[in-house]
Structure 1
Amino acid sequence: MMQFIVTLIVTAISMIVTARIIPGITISTFQAALIGAFIFGLVNAIVKPLLILFTLPATILSLGLFLFVVNALCFWLVAYFTPDFKVNGFFDALFGSILVSLISGFLSNFFDKAS
């Protein structure tokens, strides 16, 4: 349970940092970031595998680069379902999904070494 809470907080912090860096992404409150992080987990667990399965031919033809599009669509979907979390366009979602992944990976690695 503790690992789930740490992951949720790390993802929320990653979303807030991403919103500060990319001007097309806005998150109003930390509560919106927490809700967004929870929805992000649900989307990555349920919707993303289905999208990957349905877009497998495009992913194979693009040598895996189409997975960036799938990640951007998932990030955009999270913003759609989260109040006070806005993504203005596809490229903002694309760069936001990449940045959230990088920041949360770094922070998760930092917290794993700290404990």
Structure 2
Amino acid sequence: MKQFVLRVLVNALALWVAAWILPGMDINAAATTDAASGAGAGGGSETVGIVLAYLFIGLIFGLVNALVRPIVGLLSLPITCLTLGLFALVINAAMLALTAWLSSYTPVRLTIDSFFWTAVLGAIIIAIVSALAGGVVGVKRK
């Protein structure tokens, strides 16, 4: 359970860094929008809403990577071998796009402007930050 919580925290941190760097990637939540417009209690509730939004999207991203990515990776193994592993970037971007699509059915939404630039660059940033943060906190990959 501890590893799962750490993985969600690392995913949330990686998504935050990617959204901070890339202008075409954003996480919107109804609670953070209300707090920003003045309907909330103040600055503290806005920060809590944003942190919870990133944690929620990190949870969805972790579930997508745990359930869907192994199947897609196995099915795309021939093309991944032909491209010497570069197709793995497309798979990571597709998992990010799938997370954005799944989050459109929740109150917290991950929005991505374009697949090629935003999703691919976001997947690269998320992979780098996840590797660095996972190494620091000791998250084990299976």
* TM-score, length basis structure 1: 0.87
How much identity, in percent, do the aligned residues show?
A: 37
Between the aligned partners of 2:113 and 2:73, the Cα distance in structure 1 is 24
Matched, 1:21 2:46: no
Conserved 8 A contact 1:33-1:85 = no
Deviations 1:13-66, CA, capped at 9 Å, x for gaps: 111111010111001322221121111111111111111122222112111111
Q: Report the more deviating stretch, 90-99 or 48-57.
A: 48-57
* Aligned counterparts, 1:1-115, within 5 A: 1-28=1-28, 29-82=50-103, 83-90=108-115, 91-112=117-138
Assess if the C-alpha contact under 8 Å between 1:76 and 1:87 holds in 2: yes
Give distance in 1, aligned partners of 2:62 and 2:118: 20
Aligned-pair distance for 1:3?
2.4
Structure 2 counterpart of 1:93, one-letter code: A
Query: Which segments of 5 or more consecutive residues in structure 2 lack a partner in the other structure?
Result: 29-49
Cα distance, 1:103 vs. partner? 0.8
Counterpart residue type for residue 88 of structure 1: D
Is the Cα contact below 8 Å between 1:44 and 1:74 reproduced in 2?
yes
Q: In 2, are the aligned partners of 1:32 and 1:85 still within 8 Å (CA)?
A: no
Max Rg structure? 2
Q: Quick one: distance in 1 between partners of 2:84 and 2:135? A: 28
Q: Which runs of 5+ in 1 are unaligned?
A: none
Residues matched between the structures, number: 112
- CA RMSD in angstroms comes to 1.4
